[in-house]
Chain A
């Protein structure tokens, strides 16, 4: 099982019946495959849809039916459509139970950077700033380190921020971290790893929870 899949399966454990959830582009989208059986979770796409279904069969894509990642999707029974202004009223208004996003950097204060690298990249924040400011719970899902092996979980973010004090939880292939007023609390580590090994790969100081346990996940 890939690290990304472990992350998606772990986050799926946080879903609850009746939740409205917005998933960011990339890794977070994988969570839709691991919704526990019998649980009703409604996925929102910020371009204006509730009840987003899986990708269509080959050749059946509707150009008027896409998700926020601009990929073709399908309708689930009871889905609805609305304009961008209403979509973000839902998000900003606190009607999303959970938002899962990728990140470039997260820090000890729960600050998040995931939209730009000065002088290198001009893409834009899209809906990320709105989501982190508005969702009831913000979970950052990302690979623990950069391709070069640098920590993405820092004492303080160095890139321009997406939001300040907005992250509630950080999930990587190595661990689950809860952001608290005291700092980052390491609550779960991947099977086969010790908390100290996770700390060694993390720039930020981790407070090791007395109840630290092996990372759980929705069954494989």
Chain B
């Protein structure tokens, strides 16, 4: 078995317009920047993206935004991307902001076969609006559902032909959880070992 693909373009070639795509990274740390560039070259549209942030103007997912490829986005913080702020305020992009820990756990649950779970996070805020709440013991909790994607694009430090990955320092962030939560995981690595 050999999972190695020789170019980023070949790796993303089967991603279709309208796909749900998870992208690893925190800020610009541990983002699959070459896969993002290849996805922009591929020219697919109407993507539903799931990623903690959304790059900055001119880099990372900012490039996908500028190419008009994204129909909707789920994330926790997009404060570094002015273009996104403008697009959302003008209603050009459907943005769902959710707490970062809830985002991480929804992805983990998606990979772990857990359809939904209760958290205390966001109780009494807009995040809990329309969601089932339940008292367990002394405390109230909000029901959150798992996230799943067609494709996860992740970044790792080292990888091998079997698809084993090693992450480096805080470039790990959302990458390992996302790698479990999609039908197809594509990893960009610095070093093939």
Contacts and interface: CB of A to CB of B under 8 A. Distances in A.
A92 interface: yes
A79 to B, nearest CB: 9
A134 B168 contact: no
B125 A161 contact: yes
A183 interface: no
Interface in B92-123: 95, 97-105, 107-108, 119-123
Interface stretch (A57-65, A148-156, A169-177, A196-204): A57-65
The secondary structure that dominates the B interface is mixed
B171 A123 contact: no
B122 A122 contact: no
Given A92-B119, A126-B100, A47 B26 contact: yes
B70 to A, nearest CB: 15
Indicate the member of B30, B79, B95, B101 with the most A CB atoms within 10 Å.
Answer: B101
A125 interface: yes
A129 B170 contact: no
Contact of A62 (B97, B105, B121, B169): B169
Contacts of B104: 83-85, 87-88
Interface stretch (B15-23, B39-47, B81-89): B81-89
A122 B100 contact: no
B100 A130 contact: yes
| Range of interface residues on A (Cβ < 8 Å) | 35 or more
Nearest to B103: A84
Interface range on chain B (Cβ under 8 Å from partner): 35 or more
Contacts, number: 149
A120 to B, nearest CB: 9
A92 B155 CA distance: 26
B27 interface: yes
Given A92-B101, A92-B119, A127-B99, A83 B125 contact: no
Given A45-B170, A66-B29, A160-B126, 11 more contacts: A47-B29, A49-B170, A64-B168, A81-B167, A81-B172, A91-B101, A122-B78, A123-B78, A124-B75, A127-B76, A161-B125
16 contacts: A47-B26, A62-B169, A64-B169, A81-B169, A87-B101, A88-B100, A88-B105, A92-B121, A122-B95, A123-B85, A125-B77, A130-B102, A130-B121, A133-B120, A163-B124, A164-B125
Interface of A: 45-49, 62-68, 70, 81-85, 87-89, 91-92, 111, 119, 121-130, 133-134, 160-165
Interface of B: 26-30, 52, 75-80, 84-85, 88-89, 95, 97-105, 107-108, 119-127, 157, 167-177
